[in-house]
Amino acid sequence: MRNIRNALDLSINDDIVVSSASIIKVPIIVEAMRQVAAGKLSLDTLYELRDEHRVRGSGVMRYLHTGTLLNLKDLLTLMIIVSDNTATNMIIDLLDVQNVNSTMRALGLTKTRLQRKMYDWEAIERGLDNVCTASEIADLLVMIARNEAAGGDWDQMILDILHQQQDTTRLGMFLPEEVRLANKTGSHRNVFHDCGVVSTDDFSYAVSVFTEGAYSPGDAQVGIARVSRAIYDAIINL
């Protein structure tokens, strides 16, 4: 975890490179907003859902009718709040994989890499997985919270979208109702992650809790939730 305001820094095995699952969608939205800020893309541009865009896994777009039109802001929102894989792959095509990776390196995140589209198991078998570390994702979230990732209002838009996340049952399970959470989960096979910005009127911090090899999804979910609550309790008792 990383201090943003009146909190603390804490690191436990946070430099281990892991399969990112959908956590990689945080770097993707940062690059998208940077391209919007640079005038290369517009949030209002409409994109048509075609049959070849559909992929399995999380999200709702694969169930929508062919020809559905969504603008870039809609695609980014769906990518984050319901972890839509179809929306994500459409965005990756717009951004280019290497642009995402170049931006992460420029921000100092040398171990975070986008190497494949969502639900591309053939790429994984070839050793091309999306990877990250808990420390780098926490650092990226701090940059977003401090308007240092995409810049100014663009970072605030990212944070607003993360606040709309539909799955808050990991980091947020045991947090008090008044706590504000802006998060992104990630899951596939035996990998279960969550990362986010936790805020109250008195403090805020970025946290990444990554798991691998849990006995069950429920065990991983509760484990992440307990770590999240332990961090929160440590801060309020400072």
Closest CA to 206 of 233, 184, 236: 184
User: Residue 183 contacts by C-beta under 8 Å, 6 or more apart in sequence?
Assistant: 162, 165, 167, 168, 170, 171, 172, 194, 195, 196, 197
Q: Kindly report the CA angle at 111 between 106 and 114, in degrees rounded to 5?
A: 80
pLDDT value, residue 28: 98
Q: What is the pLDDT of residue 159?
A: 98
What is the model's pLDDT at position 206? 98
pLDDT at 238: 87
In this structure, the number of other CB atoms found within 10 A of the CB of residue 168 comes to 17
Q: How many CA atoms lie within 13 A of 233 on its CB side?
A: 7
The CATH class, in words, for 2-236 is alpha beta
Q: Give CA–CA dist 223/134, Å, rounded.
A: 16
- Other C-beta atoms closer than 10 Å to the C-beta of 178 total 7
User: 10 Å Cβ neighbour count for 156?
Assistant: 15
> What residue spans define the domains of the chain?
2-236
User: Shortest CA distance to 235 belongs to which of 208, 198, 209, 184?
Assistant: 198
Other CB atoms within a 10 A radius of the CB of residue 22 amount to 26
CA–CA distance, 148 with 130 (Å, rounded to integer): 23
Q: What is the pLDDT along the chain (238 residues), one digit of tens a residue?
A: 999 999 999 999 999 999 999 999 999 999 999 999 999 999 999 999 999 999 999 999 999 999 999 999 999 999 999 999 999 999 999 999 999 999 999 999 999 999 999 999 899 899 999 999 999 999 999 999 999 999 999 999 999 999 999 999 999 999 999 999 999 999 988 899 999 999 999 999 999 999 999 889 999 999 999 999 999 999 999 8
Coil, helix or strand at residue 150:
coil
pLDDT score of 63: 97
With tokens 């008044």, the residue in question is 178
Beta pairing class for 204-212 and 191-199 = antiparallel
Task: Identify which of 107, 127, 110, 129 has the alpha carbon closest to the alpha carbon of residue 118.
Answer: 129
